[in-house]
Amino acid sequence: MTAEQSSVETVHTPPTQAPAPAPLPPRSPAPSPPPLSLKQAWLVLAVVFLAEIMDLIDTSVANLAGPSIRADLGGGPMTLQWILAAYTAAFAIGLVTSGRLGDLLGRRRLFLLGMAGFTLASAACGFAPGPVFLIVARVFQGLFGAVMIPQGMALVKVVFPREHLRKALMPFGPVMGLATVAGPILAGWLLHLDLFGSQWRSIFLINVPFGVAALALGLRVLPRYSGEDPSARLDLTGVGLLTAGSALLIVPLIEGRDLGWPWWTWAMTAASVGVFALFVASERRSDHPVITPSLLGRRSFVVGLVVVGGFYASLSAFVLVVNLLLQQGLRWTPLHVGLTLIPWAVGTAVAVLLAGGYLAERLGRATLRLGLAVAVAGLLVLVWTTAHWGSGVTFWRLAPSLFLTGFGSGLVFVPVFDFVLGEATAEEVGTGAGMLNAVQQFAGAVGVAALGTVFFARAAQGSFTGAAELVFAVCAVLYVLTFLCVGLLPKDAQQAHG
């Protein structure tokens, strides 16, 4: 071998592999923040209650202010129905979706965003220059309310230990009931005061200071971590079908009477049934359904929502028509109407205390039946009173029937909430409460739209009293049908809790 050969010859050795890197130790999950103290948890509950009260009162105050709004801004009966239904329909449509958004974007963030938007939209309602502007502002108010409310329930579920969660949820039924009946009385008082010459505008502007206070307290006490699910996804198909079905039902109910029920109103109503059926089918196939599927398999939850729907459709229509009868038919002042509703509010408050503290635990679902039966009796007495006295009705002549109707309603508020969520697990209670709120609001919107249409159609024939009697009778029939549905619930809410 020559030197030259040796200089060019290379030795081929197998390539050496780089040593494998040492395996990384398994990543430990990010530590959860320390739990809030019980005192802090109750402060979170206070913020959530304030949001719930603002929502519920805002739903009902517009009923009493409706005639004043129409007199100031103009528009016909259809405009008034849109002003009343725009909030509740937008709220109901957005409520179910926003519960899932809380998992994606953070419940604290969405709650504060919803509260800020709700407060700004309330101010926009208060300064509305015309009916179209007010309707649009009410839609935004409802959408922001829908963003806010389900996050509050989920936050309550997170901050309270399991052994205290049920105690924290118990006041929701009474608060929802009392806030519903307090709205018209508050509206009558504010309309009478006419603060700074604001007339009806004060019922919306009053939300602004409360909203600012809730935002300030929420920034301090709401936990930054609230159990979000990073794997959650938003089912856009389900959201689209739910929104489309709701709009197809609400629009013809509100506009049909004024337009003479053209063919397209009937077509839209029929189409809504098909779209809702498609929504149910889509939910069954979806990997990330809008509504937690396990809830729909619970009899207590499904039947309870049917009971809530029938009850609130009738209740919302009743509140609207009482206000229209007394203000537009009998020319009573808003303050006079608000004071006349005091027996109704007192009856509700007494019944809420009885149902929450004694009756619901001892009687179970019989409490719901008793409440609905008393409410039917009150409505029938109200029909007789208006038919017998006509324009000669007074506070004292209306008081017995209003007290009975309120007492019956109050017996329903507390136990129905317990039955609907009775079988829900801790993981389902947030979605379940969101569905409960959604059905309540949507049923109220449908009740106002459908029975409001019945009232205005009959009143156009020249008899406000006859129109009110007809609606009160229909409300009584709805309560009877709801009474029959109660029989499908477990006999006792404790059975639902397992």
pLDDT band of 393, cuts 50, 70, 90:
confident
**Residues 371, 339 share a domain:** yes
Give the highest mean pLDDT range of 36-45, 143-152, 350-359: 143-152
pLDDT tens, position by position, 77-99 = 777 778 877 887 788 777 767 76
Lowest-confidence range among 174-183, 214-223, 294-303? 174-183
| 49 lies in the same domain as 190 | yes
- What pLDDT score does 382 carry? 94
Are residue 178 and residue 275 in the same domain, yes or no? Answer: no
pLDDT band, very low/low/confident/very high, at 180 (cuts 50, 70, 90): low
Among 371, 319, 377, CA closest to 173: 371
What's the whole-model pTM score? 0.73
Question: Do 40 and 86 fall within a single domain?
Answer: yes
Quickly count: other Cβ atoms within 10 Å of residue 266's Cβ.
12
Mean pLDDT of 57-76: 75
User: What confidence tier does 372 reach under pLDDT thresholds 50, 70, 90?
Assistant: very high
Averaging pLDDT over each range in 93-97, 166-170, 454-458, 468-472, which range is the top one?
468-472
Mean per-residue pLDDT for 454-482?
A: 88
| Same-domain status, 320 and 338 | yes
Could you tell me if 127 and 148 lie in one domain? yes
What integer pLDDT is reported at residue 36 of this predicted model?
63
Q: What is the CATH number of the domain that holds 95?
A: 1.20.1250.20
Does 31 score more than 80 pLDDT? Answer: no
Per cent of the chain over pLDDT 70 is 78
What value does the mean pLDDT take over residues 209-227? 83
Residue 327 sits in which domain range? 36-222+290-496
Within-domain flag for 178: yes
Alpha helix positions (H), 421-463 = 429-459
When pLDDT is averaged across residues 379-388 and rounded to a whole number, the result is 92
Residue 482 and residue 390 share a domain: yes
Number of domains in the chain: 2
Q: How far is CA 369 from CA 100, 309, 363, 375, 464, in A?
A: 34, 15, 10, 10, 31
- Measured CA to CA, the distance from residue 162 to residue 427 in angstroms comes to 11
- Distance (Å, whole) CA 250 – CA 227: 35
Mean pLDDT over residues 43-62, rounded?
A: 79
Over 90: is that where the pLDDT of 492 sits?
A: no
For the chain, the average pLDDT equals: 78
Let me know if residue 30 belongs to a domain: no
**Domain match, 353 and 250 both:** no
- At 174, is the pLDDT very low, low, confident or very high (cuts 50, 70, 90)? low
Same domain, 374 and 269: no
Residue 253 is predicted with a pLDDT of 72
pLDDT over 90 for what percent of the chain? 17
Q: Please state the rounded mean pLDDT for residues 216-231.
A: 74
- The 10s digit of each residue's pLDDT in 395-443 is 899 999 999 999 998 888 778 877 777 666 656 665 676 677 778 877 8
Q: What is the mean pLDDT of residues 14-35?
A: 43
Q: What share of the chain is helix, strand, coil (3-state, %, to 5)?
A: 80, 0, 20
Does 26 map to a domain? no
> Which of 105-109, 295-299, 373-377, 466-470 is the most confident on average?
373-377
Q: Which of 271, 289, 307 is the last residue of a domain?
A: 289
Q: Are 432 and 421 in contact (CB under 8 A)?
A: yes
The CA distance from 324 to 310, in Å, is 22
pLDDT tier for residue 166 given thresholds of 50, 70 and 90:
low
Q: How far is CA 469 from CA 181, 226, 305, 464, 477, in A?
A: 21, 49, 28, 9, 13
In residues, how long is the chain?
Answer: 498
pLDDT of residue 226: 58
Whether 315 contacts 180, CB under 8 Å: yes
Do residues 281 and 411 both lie within one domain?
A: no
Which has more confidence, 30 or 294?
294
- Point out the least confidently predicted range of 133-137, 271-275, 281-285: 281-285
